[in-house]
Amino acid sequence: MQQFIDAAPGIRLWTEQRGARDAAPLLLIMGARASGVAWPEPLVDALAAHHRVIRYDHRDTGRSTWPFEERPYRIPDLADDAIAVLDHLGIDRAHVVGMSLGGMLAQLLLADHPDRLLSATLISTSALSSTPYTRPDGSTVPVAELPGIAPEVLELWARPAGEHGPAAEAARQVEHWRVLAGDRLPFDTGFFRALEQRVIEHTGHHRTSTAHGRANHDGMLRTDRLARNAVPALVICAPADPVFPPPHPQHLAQCVRGASLVEIPGMGHALPPAVLDPLATAILRHTGAATG
């Protein structure tokens, strides 16, 4: 079922629900510049076999309001949008699964709204914490010295998008996914081409927004609150992630009190077919234990 909700004055968000209405709710939060339909259909279906799955378009993506050019907002406002989705749908508490920026938003929910979460799964993201990383040998690494984004990703992000038409834009996005996916699994060009075509059809145009990269990121650290976390949390380690490579996931698991860590072999900063089954298994094992 699809519907629009009013998240804030002048902000409407597209939402979709799938699965049994009486199942435990699970909210999917995608990454920066990504529509909710960027969650692969097989993964959504696998989760919806056990949960009432909700996904939605962030502001400036998909069918939701694109307001940034006239009314800039802060990244934490996107976390407020997630709460607004739950409120509008009458959901008191939900499992939350966030990827990349969505994983950061999920951390904000862990810190600021723990009473609204049944569990959190954090995928391909980094800690909103200033706590140093502790290596297995006991030595520590300041957060500023953790590995940065791979040069090939930065080079791709630095290229101007331009105006090339829908087909060329889809091809550009497929190349983007190729770089993000890492080099440990064969790249499925057809899968990501179909994904991008679905996003363009869903959105109604092929333009992409840079709003999330330009939005104010200040005030996002939640060091102390994450260290006191009491919500069941799972960190997904993507060993081939060129954006937040190891030991970012290990560091995140250290920063979020009580978090467990599961590695998905070969996974990068993308969701290709090869990782969907093990990822769904890890998420469902986690949510099943948390639901009890």
Question: Does residue 201 lie in a domain region?
Answer: no
Question: Does residue 174 lie in a domain region?
Answer: no
Q: What residues make up the domain containing 141?
A: 2-148+210-291
The 10s digit of each residue's pLDDT in 127-142 is: 999 999 999 999 999 9
Catalytic pick from 241, 248, 251, 286?
Answer: 241
Is the four-CA dihedral 127, 55, 152, 217 of positive or negative sign? negative
At 12 the three-state DSSP class reads: strand
Known catalytic residue at 269: yes
At 206 the three-state DSSP class reads: coil
Q: Find residue 28's DSSP bridge partners.
A: 55, 97
The 10s digit of each residue's pLDDT in 95-138 is: 999 999 999 999 999 999 999 999 999 999 999 999 999 999 99
Number of domains making up the chain: 1
Binned average pLDDT, 10 residues per bin, the chain of 292 residues = 95 98 97 96 98 98 96 96 98 98 98 98 98 97 96 86 74 92 96 94 89 92 98 98 98 98 98 98 97 66
Question: Of the candidates 285, 268, 203, which has an alpha carbon nearest to the alpha carbon of residue 38?
Answer: 203
The rounded distance, in Å, linking the Cα atoms of 147 and 180 is 16
| Cα maximum dimension of the chain | 53
Known catalytic residue at 218: no
Kindly state the DSSP code that residue 74 receives in the 8-state scheme.
B
Backbone torsions φ then ψ of 26, nearest 5 degrees: -135, 120
Known catalytic residue at 241: yes
Which CATH number is 135's domain given?
3.40.50.1820
Question: Does residue 162 lie in a domain region?
Answer: no
Catalytic pick from 51, 95, 269, 286?
Answer: 269
Question: Does residue 183 lie in a domain region?
Answer: no
pTM reported for the whole predicted model: 0.96
Element (H, E) at 182: none
Question: Does residue 254 lie in a domain region?
Answer: yes
Question: Does residue 166 lie in a domain region?
Answer: no
Catalytic pick from 35, 64, 100, 126?
Answer: 100
